[in-house]
Structure 1
Amino acid sequence: MSVTGEGVFRGLLKWRWVALPVLLGMIAATAMSLPKLQKDTSADAFIGEDQPALVYKNHIEDVFGLTDPIVVAVIDEDDDGIFDAENLALVERLTRSIESLPQIDPERVTSLATENYIAGNAEGIVVEGFLDPDTAYFQAPPGTLERAGEVRAAIDDFPLYQGLLVGREGTATLIVAELIDDDLATEAYNGVLDIVRSETVADGTKIHVAGEGAVMGYLSTYIDNDASRLNPMAGLIITLVLLVAFMSLRAAILPNLIVAGTVLGSFGLMAASGTSFFVITNGLVVNLIGIAVADSIHILSSYYSVLRDEPALNKRDAVVRAMAQMWRPVTLTSITTIAGFLALSISSAMPPIQAFGLFGAIGVFLAWVYSMTLLPVLLSLWPTRRIPAPFARRRNGAARVSLAERAMSALGARVLAAPKTVVTVGVALFVFGVAGALQLQVEEERIANFKPSEPVYQADKVINATTDGIYSLDVLIETPAPEGLYDPELLRRIEDLQAYMETLPAVGGTTSIVDYVKQLHRSVQEGDPAAYTIPDDPDLIAQLFFLYAASADPADFEEEVDYDFQRTLVRAQVSDGRYTTNRDIVPVLERYVEEHFNDELATATVTGRVTVSYYWFHGIDRSTILSVLLSFGAVTLAAILLFRSPVLGLLAALPVGLAILLVYSVMGWSGVALGMGTSMFAAIAIGLSIDFAIHALERIRELARERGISVDTLKDLYPETGRALFFNFIAVAGGFGVLTTSDVPPLVKFGSLVAVAVTTAFLASVTLLPALVLLLKPSAMTSRYREEPSHAKLAPTT
């Protein structure tokens, strides 16, 4: 550290009573907005607002009033299935109770208790509810086995409801409830659960609650429960690591204050900017805890080493000396970590990951600021200069050698005794990594945010297995003029479109205005099955809808067609929400509508939940590669510039590259797919992992400039710097290891992979890196860069 640099820290400590309230005020100011932080658990959060798939999905919600619903399934696998008096009465009660919830649109609840059957009579058509008490078509009174049989027969006669409202095997029926506002999803989901729990059901009957509305509602609670458990656990583990490393209350408390300032500041700024708290944001807290505490570990190690080597030095001078030693490596690691986070933010197309990267970078910057200012101020104000046991000298004046120092020294001796073997193993691991990474596959599923043991996960699987599916794939058809949908040719195109959609993977069935047209046509033809067709006369088609409006509520069609009969929605039900399934559906359907529509008669656009899910994850493999390349390139360039040497920059990047490659290899060989959690680990791990190499190289260069490159020289890397790196590694890996206990599977994968990557990078930094330096003896290690002469001989960097 230069004279000027030491002067900066002396000046800081001279004005410490001014600096302290300023720094604490800065933390308070950035944390003031925390109460404004809002959660966003919707799937739409993962795609940009200007993406056509989302724009059209929002468009059809405005036109047809459709939102992501909560789906309640009544399932009975006995012989009669759901067609018995008790089950139909249960559907009626559940429907009326759900309609009464303030968060649910009562006009947008669909079930056997709300839908109508269309039949013909001498006057024309009869439109009656399946469970209505006074009906002409249904002769048996509601609540009887005979009425249940009539309902079964009516469903069998009306293809529109088969698979959609009632499972094709007759064992399941759905109640689909749409939210008034997505922000009310949690209250709505809890309200539906309360209604379900209050019901007494017959033996053999089960009720399940799923759907995107349920997922949004449950995720909010899920996030809160996860954060309230994980974050204190991470803090506890970090504190225990600090206590073991330093055996000092001061060394345990002060880093936690830096952590608190970092986390409160970054999340306070997140709230102030209006950025939402997403599912994956839970992982950012653990990131920042590990990063902030790592800086403190190195600074405290240096401080205690200075006091051990110069016992007569007063406390303020010891703090200045320690900061003079550590400002450069801590700054280097902060810059490279910031580069990794920013590269993640820039390269991702998903807003939650963009926010993760941006506020991760802000958090690292805050950690650096507080480590360079608040930590030395607090350290100088602590009312004791006691040297903790790991750094104290024995009574005879000899330095104590801790277990960690002995272990690291033993590792160093083995590495430096066989550097060629170490490098050979590194090359073999590289080859293994490349081969495994080529096996990597892409997969994502929204419901996989939950553990398989969770009720909402199980409900999703059961409902999709017993019905046509609860994931919506939509095609919006638009005509140039009002009443364009009365055109028979266009309706036949839509009929062909439905037939094509039903051939696609996981598509169970489709619905559109065409289904009503054919049912109405058959009804006026005295129920003749041969009349279940589209009439050739557009006037007859218009007349059919007029007859329906005269017999029932014309708003019954509002989910399929607009008021002017100019726009209509074709909806397919998909039973599999995986990306690989969506990938086999959406592109081919888009090609089909491009070839068969988009002319003077009508235009067609593919949209819906399945399409949005496909596009928010489409290209994740390419964006992940871009993210890794940008992050790796950014930290490598930063290392080159900071070390002022391409050779040293590349050496610093080598352990990181090997760590990321090996993790991808393990994923490829073991079948762990590239998903939401696993796609972002690499950029984060790159920024974190290069810290080990930078600290190791900084110390090796310092030693090499004093004594040249030799085995004896490099052995001095391990006792102090190696010990600090070891506890740095334990703190970071332990913090991320906490995520493996998360209730959110993507966070489990994210935490596991980062922990593995950090472990690999640490081991490579203390084995492969010194071995390469010993074998290559790069001149950059011993050459001097221009700097001011040192004020005093510095204690060893730790």
Structure 2
Amino acid sequence: MHAEKILEFGYRHQFITLMLLSLLSIASVFGIFQLKTDTSYESFISENDAGWPIYSETVKNFGSDNTTIIYIKDEKIWTPEKLLELENLVRDLESLEKVEKVESLFSALSIRDEDGFLNINPLMDIAPYDQMEADQVRENALYSPLVKNNLLSEDGKTLAINVTVDRSQRDPEFNLSFYKQLDELLVPVEKDFDEVFQVGPPRLNVEIERSMFEDIRLLVPLSSLFLFGTILFFLRTGYACFIPITTSALSILWTFGFMGFAGIPFSLLTAIVPSLVIVIGSTEDTHMLTSYIHGLDDEKPDRIKALRFMVKHIGLPIFITGFTTAIGFFSNALSEIPLIQNFAYAASFSMVANLICTILFVPLVLSRTGPLKNNLGDESGEPTGLIGKIVKLLDRVSDFHGSKVIITTAILLIGLGYASTTVRVSNDPLSYFKGSNTLVQNADTLHDTLSGMQIFYLTFNSNKDHFFQEPENLKVIETITDILREKENTVSKEGKAFDKVIALSDYVALMNREMNEADPAHYRVPDTRREIDELLLMLQRDDVERFATYDYSKVNIVVRHNISDSHELNVIRDELEKEIRPLLPEQITYHFSGENLMINRAAESLFSSQVSSLAILIVLIVVIMTMVYTSFIAGLISLIPNLIPVIFNFGIMGLLDIPLNPGTATVAAIAIGIAIDDTVHLMTRYAEICRRETDQQKAAKLTIHSQAVPVISTSISLVLGFSIFAFSNFQIVAQFGVLAAATMVYALLSDLLVTPIVLRSVRIVGLYDIISLQISKHILESCPLFENMTPYQIKKAILLSQLHSYDENHVLLQQGEVDRKLLVVLEGKVEVIRQSDGSETKLAEMGPGSVIGEIAFIRQGVERTATVRTLEPVQVMSMEWESTKKGLRFYPHIAAMLNSNLAKIIGERFIKTTEDLDEARKLEGSLAS
């Protein structure tokens, strides 16, 4: 079934179309009821990440790293009353389901020398009874390096309660429910303290969900408003606004239903799909409406006639662009990050849904209630108003500065191409938010006052019992701990990389110091196994379970930091590995582990998946465009205006230090999928115009004139639509929107400036045009110009020429004129006459398949020796020397066959002329005798 037939289905079978649209919408409603929300950490980590087994083993040995830090600040926090309230809070936290451990001043140890004796006790089992006892607890807490900047700030006015939960089973709903439990406990506490908040994975998930729905409430109406404005401004009819809003609404409904049935959750990225549908889906509606309005007859407007005009002109481009846009989104499914994969599935489905909805709904509505007034003028005429001024400027640039445009573009491509090599990757959930977000501000406050909310483990495994009770082995851990503690942030240059580092060696070193009358020189691991064993015997298993296994064959270093840029953390981790590896004996293996690190590691796959998705998309587009326009050159040309925006995008990212993250990683593939839309419409229109216009430069100019309104209006609509995402609560969504908007600008300029310059150097023929061209079997079999050519090659040769229709008694060639035109009669009859002394002599009558004017075609400056005039309505194929030479240079096989046949025709006619002359001489001789 042809594309035109599919587009006609909507208005030819209106009842079936309405039923189909209704049934799909009703079914989608049931799917929506199954739609779930997922903002968990797991959606940021590849399911195939090699770190999962190591992470699971680490959690099993040393406990979970899913820790929420409750921040409590008060100028008078060290009063018995406030400490009692905090004790009650700690007990309530310990009673919560799934809580693995609660670390606070009520569980922390006080390790201190008192009158020559080592005192190891909890800082406080219960809240102090009086102020003196409270002051003593405060002094002991500030004295301990294990407590300071971990559970208590240096000024003693801020303390932390670290709540670690069991995450042995991955449940996307757990963090949300746990946050609510904590929040309920903190509400009554907030009124009695200066500042109280929680930070950690549960809070992060809640902030993502809250911000998602805030975005939807803001961005969807804004997208609709901008869509209304741009369509109304460019198409000059309020009616045009109704159609894209309706198709977008239906597409969104179907997409949400699909997500529910397919188990695709509502997430940070899928939340922007509704706005994307409104912004992107409206482009084809605009092209269809523009074509429909151009098809209206000013004197006798007819909706069905206008619809047929629309279907004929944009049928195939609609399907090509819909497919490539969907492929652009779907190519992101190559990413290993579930968040991006789900977005790719949902967004690509939404584009397909929008295509189906558009081709069914738009013709149906236009056939019933479409406008009957053409506000845009003749399609072949120059556009007016603002777009008219833009087109005139483009004409001048193209005519007089074409080479400068190409040179400037090439220079920019080289410069920005180099800048694109500096783009870094990042995938930290905290960096998804803007700096103004309260969670980010709270995390910074925690970092400045205590230690950052981010946690990872560095574990060491010897596979030998009591291995780390040996002094030489524990000293290695002590050295590595010191390296971590002193590690500078070599990327941001903002001082120390980590806020707090705690290991088993710290407990042993602190006890050793206090055993030696608090002498700082003894803050180190002892030199003998006996001393270490004696010190460890003074500790309970609960005190060090996060730092060593019961048999001391494995140890763990807990690191807290505030690095929210995964690129920074990955660089620092790589540097650490180079420093750590030489220090370790051969029998010790080590691993960095933690959900945070796996999320960061997933960032490394962003680049490779981006390259893969772009490569696949580019190959698909070249294949599709090569098939559609029957030329590999045409396929490559279609890429030029679409690769330029991609290179510009990555170059700008490099210059502005915008990272490749789950938001920005999707821009390039999406941009190609969308930008190809205008390119397809331009190339299709150019191919149509070239069939009647021999001057390819003029054809390129007319192409821009006819497509300026839809191309510029849809591009501006896309730019404004994507710009709306700058108002998102999420930094990565805002970056996505701004970059996508900028890329649409690059694509528009590329299509309007570069594409015409490239197009005018080539002739293209559409596959559909070849298939649909009706040529009589007689011509295919008998025309000498097409001898030994396949029907496909013949049709392509005809379409690479100009097709003209003329009425009866029209002069096709005039005797005495000089031109280089070859004609092939396709339909009708013509006569060849010679004019002499005011009289005409009919030399021949020619019909379909006849070749006329071959001598003047191949030789410059030859006058026509006869006049060719139509005897009835005819259709002829016209080949002009210069345009044919240009048009066939990318089709050498067809050109060679035409030249061979043309030479044969000329040779045969030369022989025929020679024979006729011989006959004439013989006749003259016989008459003379």
* TM-score bin (small chain): 0.7 to 0.9
Counterpart of 1:185 (choices 175, 189, 192) is 175
1:223 aligns with 2:205: no
1:745-760 superposed matches below 5 A: 745-760=731-746
1:337–1:635 Cα contact (<8 Å) kept: no
CA deviations on 1:762-796 (whole Å, 9 max, x unpaired) are 1221222112333x2x13369996312379999xx
What's 1:325 paired with?
A: 313
CA deviations on 1:386-424 (whole Å, 9 max, x unpaired) are 32452589xxxx999653553454345324432334334
- Counterpart amino acid of residue 323 in structure 1: V
Distance (whole Å) between structure 2 residues aligned to residue 784 and residue 193 of structure 1: 64
2:77–2:83 Cα contact (<8 Å) kept: no
What's 2:297 paired with?
A: 308
Distance (whole Å) between structure 2 residues aligned to residue 294 and residue 595 of structure 1: 60
Distance (whole Å) between structure 2 residues aligned to residue 784 and residue 175 of structure 1: 70
- Counterpart amino acid of residue 109 in structure 1: V
Counterpart of 1:700 (choices 686, 708, 718) is 686
What's 1:342 paired with?
A: 330
- Counterpart amino acid of residue 789 in structure 1: L
What's 1:722 paired with?
A: 708
Deviation at 1:498, TM superposition (A): 1.5
1:263–1:288 Cα contact (<8 Å) kept: yes
- Counterpart amino acid of residue 111 in structure 1: S
Deviation at 1:607, TM superposition (A): 0.9
Deviation at 1:71, TM superposition (A): 1.7
1:99–1:105 Cα contact (<8 Å) kept: no
- Counterpart amino acid of residue 662 in structure 1: F
Distance (whole Å) between structure 1 residues aligned to residue 767 and residue 538 of structure 2: 93
What's 1:386 paired with?
A: 371
What's 1:158 paired with?
A: 144
1:516 aligns with 2:507: yes
What's 2:32 paired with?
A: 34
Residues 598 and 244 (structure 1 numbering): CA distance in 2 closer, same or farther, change over 3 Å?
farther
Distance (whole Å) between structure 1 residues aligned to residue 381 and residue 583 of structure 2: 83
CA deviations on 1:576-634 (whole Å, 9 max, x unpaired) are 3322431232223345555555854x432211245324312235445444444443444
What's 1:138 paired with?
A: none
Counterpart of 2:480 (choices 486, 497, 503) is 497
Larger Rg: 2
Task: Between 581-590 and 177-186, report the one with greater CA deviation.
Answer: 177-186
- Counterpart amino acid of residue 654 in structure 2: G
1:739 aligns with 2:725: yes
Distance (whole Å) between structure 1 residues aligned to residue 502 and residue 359 of structure 2: 64
Give the number of equivalent residue pairs: 763
Task: Between 462-471 and 220-229, report the one with greater CA deviation.
Answer: 462-471
User: What secondary structure sits across from 1:373 in the alignment?
Assistant: helix
- Counterpart amino acid of residue 356 in structure 2: V
Distance (whole Å) between structure 1 residues aligned to residue 424 and residue 754 of structure 2: 30
- Counterpart amino acid of residue 230 in structure 2: V
Distance (whole Å) between structure 1 residues aligned to residue 743 and residue 324 of structure 2: 16
Distance (whole Å) between structure 2 residues aligned to residue 493 and residue 445 of structure 1: 31
1:766 aligns with 2:752: yes
Counterpart of 1:414 (choices 386, 391, 396) is 396
Deviation at 1:754, TM superposition (A): 0.5
What's 2:261 paired with?
A: 272
2:44–2:337 Cα contact (<8 Å) kept: yes
Distance (whole Å) between structure 2 residues aligned to residue 615 and residue 232 of structure 1: 37
What's 2:764 paired with?
A: 780
1:320-719 superposed matches below 5 A: 320-346=308-334, 348-380=335-367, 382=368, 384-388=369-373, 390-391=375-376, 403=385, 406-418=388-400, 419-442=402-425, 445-480=428-463, 485-505=468-488, 506-519=497-510, 534=525, 545=536, 547-549=538-540, 554-563=541-550, 565-591=552-578, 594-597=581-584, 599-600=586-587, 602-618=588-604, 620-719=606-705
Distance (whole Å) between structure 2 residues aligned to residue 123 and residue 415 of structure 1: 90
Consecutive unaligned residues of structure 2, counting only runs of 5 or more, are 489-496, 776-802, 806-929
User: What secondary structure sits across from 2:271 in the alignment?
Assistant: helix
Deviation at 1:654, TM superposition (A): 1.4
Distance (whole Å) between structure 1 residues aligned to residue 315 and residue 82 of structure 2: 69
Structural RMSD (CA): 3.8
Which protein, 1 or 2, shows the higher relative CO under an 8 Å CA cutoff with sep ≥ 6?
1
What's 2:773 paired with?
A: 789
Distance (whole Å) between structure 2 residues aligned to residue 399 and residue 604 of structure 1: 73
CA deviations on 1:157-210 (whole Å, 9 max, x unpaired) are 43322332234565643222234666343454456556656546899x544543
Task: Between 115-124 and 168-177, report the one with greater CA deviation.
Answer: 115-124
Identical-residue share of aligned pairs (%): 19
User: What secondary structure sits across from 2:592 in the alignment?
Assistant: strand
Distance (whole Å) between structure 2 residues aligned to residue 534 and residue 710 of structure 1: 84
1:405–1:720 Cα contact (<8 Å) kept: no
Distance (whole Å) between structure 2 residues aligned to residue 262 and residue 219 of structure 1: 25
Distance (whole Å) between structure 1 residues aligned to residue 130 and residue 224 of structure 2: 59
- Counterpart amino acid of residue 504 in structure 1: K
Deviation at 1:287, TM superposition (A): 2.4
Distance (whole Å) between structure 2 residues aligned to residue 507 and residue 573 of structure 1: 6
Distance (whole Å) between structure 1 residues aligned to residue 450 and residue 755 of structure 2: 58
Residues 783 and 497 (structure 1 numbering): CA distance in 2 closer, same or farther, change over 3 Å?
closer
CA deviations on 1:6-62 (whole Å, 9 max, x unpaired) are 445555544331232123312332453223333333344222123133443343334
User: What secondary structure sits across from 1:787 in the alignment?
Assistant: helix
1:98–1:192 Cα contact (<8 Å) kept: no
Deviation at 1:337, TM superposition (A): 1.9
Residues 431 and 67 (structure 1 numbering): CA distance in 2 closer, same or farther, change over 3 Å?
closer
Residues 540 and 23 (structure 1 numbering): CA distance in 2 closer, same or farther, change over 3 Å?
same
- Counterpart amino acid of residue 226 in structure 1: D
CA deviations on 1:464-511 (whole Å, 9 max, x unpaired) are 123343322312233436655544444333223322322323123322
1:44–1:54 Cα contact (<8 Å) kept: no
Task: Between 431-440 and 529-538, report the one with greater CA deviation.
Answer: 529-538
Residues 6 and 756 (structure 1 numbering): CA distance in 2 closer, same or farther, change over 3 Å?
closer
Distance (whole Å) between structure 1 residues aligned to residue 6 and residue 291 of structure 2: 18
- Counterpart amino acid of residue 155 in structure 1: A
CA deviations on 1:113-156 (whole Å, 9 max, x unpaired) are 3323245789997543323348xxxxxx5551x43442344235
Deviation at 1:759, TM superposition (A): 1.4
1:408–1:719 Cα contact (<8 Å) kept: no
- Counterpart amino acid of residue 717 in structure 2: A
User: What secondary structure sits across from 2:557 in the alignment?
Assistant: strand
Deviation at 1:305, TM superposition (A): 2.0
1:334–1:368 Cα contact (<8 Å) kept: yes
What's 1:97 paired with?
A: 89
1:656–1:761 Cα contact (<8 Å) kept: yes
What's 2:48 paired with?
A: 50
- Counterpart amino acid of residue 275 in structure 2: V
Deviation at 1:519, TM superposition (A): 4.5
- Counterpart amino acid of residue 354 in structure 1: Q
Distance (whole Å) between structure 1 residues aligned to residue 125 and residue 4 of structure 2: 86
Residues 568 and 271 (structure 1 numbering): CA distance in 2 closer, same or farther, change over 3 Å?
farther
User: What secondary structure sits across from 2:371 in the alignment?
Assistant: coil
1:306–1:321 Cα contact (<8 Å) kept: yes
Consecutive unaligned residues of structure 1, counting only runs of 5 or more, are 77-81, 135-140
What's 2:787 paired with?
A: none
Deviation at 1:685, TM superposition (A): 1.1
User: What secondary structure sits across from 1:576 in the alignment?
Assistant: coil
1:111 aligns with 2:104: yes
Distance (whole Å) between structure 2 residues aligned to residue 70 and residue 131 of structure 1: 22
